[in-house]
């Protein structure tokens, strides 16, 4: 099992087992004032082989600040069965989206999103919060 995709984006949803992502690849969250909301979504795709499909799995997503303090946590379970058109050795994908728009960030700095499946760390996303950069001087 592996996470084949994990990105921060403006919006994400799952439709017909497909991951729909708008403006993905966010690594900086600029706000005029902090604390403030993240205003992003997390989109991810978990890749499962035939031995992992029928087994229930535990998912743990944690947002952590640069000092190691927890900011938010999402926990849940998932399991993917096989459809009538799934080949025996086929790798299948399980899409997820998480709405983090209302998660409050307390201060400027580096943060991470730690993603674990079945208590095993699988992926880390890092992002930086800050104030908008000053415009370049006009000469």
Domain ranges in the chain are 2-130
- Asked if pLDDT for residue 49 goes beyond 80, the answer is yes
Structure tokens at 5: 């995709």
Q: How confident is the model at residue 50 (pLDDT cuts 50, 70, 90)?
A: confident
Does residue 122 contact residue 114 with C-beta atoms inside 8 Å?
no
Residues 6 or more apart in contact with residue 44 via CB below 8 angstroms: 3, 5, 6, 7, 19, 95, 96, 97, 98, 115, 123
For the chain, percent of residues with pLDDT exceeding 70:
99
- Asked if pLDDT for residue 126 goes beyond 90, the answer is yes
Report the topology of domain 2-130. Answer: Immunoglobulin-like (2.60.40)
Does residue 8 contact residue 125 with C-beta atoms inside 8 Å?
yes
- Asked if pLDDT for residue 82 goes beyond 80, the answer is no
Return d(Cα 8, Cα 113) in angstroms, integer: 10
Residues facing residue 120 across a β-bridge: 117
Does residue 58 contact residue 115 with C-beta atoms inside 8 Å?
no
pLDDT value for 80: 83
What global pTM score does this model have? 0.89
- Asked if pLDDT for residue 95 goes beyond 90, the answer is yes
């Amino acid at each position: 099992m592996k996470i084949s995709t994990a990105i921060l984006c403006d919006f994400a949803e799952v439709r017909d087992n497909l991951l729909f992502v708008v403006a993905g690849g966010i690594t900086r969250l600029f706000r005029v004032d902090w604390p403030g909301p993240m205003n992003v979504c997390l989109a991810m795709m978990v890749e499962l082989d035939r031995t992992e499909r029928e087994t229930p799995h535990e998912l743990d997503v944690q947002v952590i600040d640069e000092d190691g303090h927890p900011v938010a946590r999402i926990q849940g379970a998932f399991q993917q069965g096989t459809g009538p058109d799934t080949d025996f050795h086929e790798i299948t994908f399980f899409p997820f989206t998480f709405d983090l728009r209302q998660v409050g960030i307390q201060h400027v700095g580096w943060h991470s999103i730690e993603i674990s499946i079945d208590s095993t760390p699988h992926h880390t996303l890092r992002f930086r919060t800050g104030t908008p950069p000053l415009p370049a001087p006009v000469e």
